[in-house]
Amino acid sequence: MQRKLRLRNREDFSRIYRNGKSFANSQFVVYWSRQQQADPLRLGVSASKKIGNAVVRNRMRRLVKEIIRHQKDRITGQLDLIVIVRKPAVGLEMKELEKSMLHVLKRAGLLKSPR
């Protein structure tokens, strides 16, 4: 993910938690809000200490960013997106994580319709 496409400010996270919508499955929680300044989309990833040590948390953040990077053409534009990683996601392979992420994005209505 490019630096300009990341959510990093506490105010942005708070705004999305407060005013955004959310969907979840057993591996991920997704909060989102439509924003004009979010050109294709801006992403923030949260992984709490409950899921493991710093190595595990950072690995999960990298995997989520990679999944979103690969799928950003399928995700509707002008979004601020926050992904919260849950503990069951830690033991999964990349393909399973991607399938789970696409599932929660589809349930949230954030994927473009196939043509």
- Domains in the chain, please, with CATH? 3-104 (3.30.230.10)
Average pLDDT value for the chain: 92
Position 59 scores a pLDDT of 97
Q: What's the Cα-to-Cα distance from 29 to each of 68, 85, 104, rounded to whole Å? A: 14, 7, 8
Assigned token pair, 32:
């989102």
Would you say residue 115 has pLDDT above 70?
no
Q: What is the mean pLDDT of residues 57-86?
A: 94
Position 38 scores a pLDDT of 60
Q: Is 101:66 a contact under the CB 8 Å cutoff? A: no
Percent of the chain with pLDDT over 90: 77
pTM (predicted TM-score): 0.92
Would you say residue 33 has pLDDT above 80?
yes
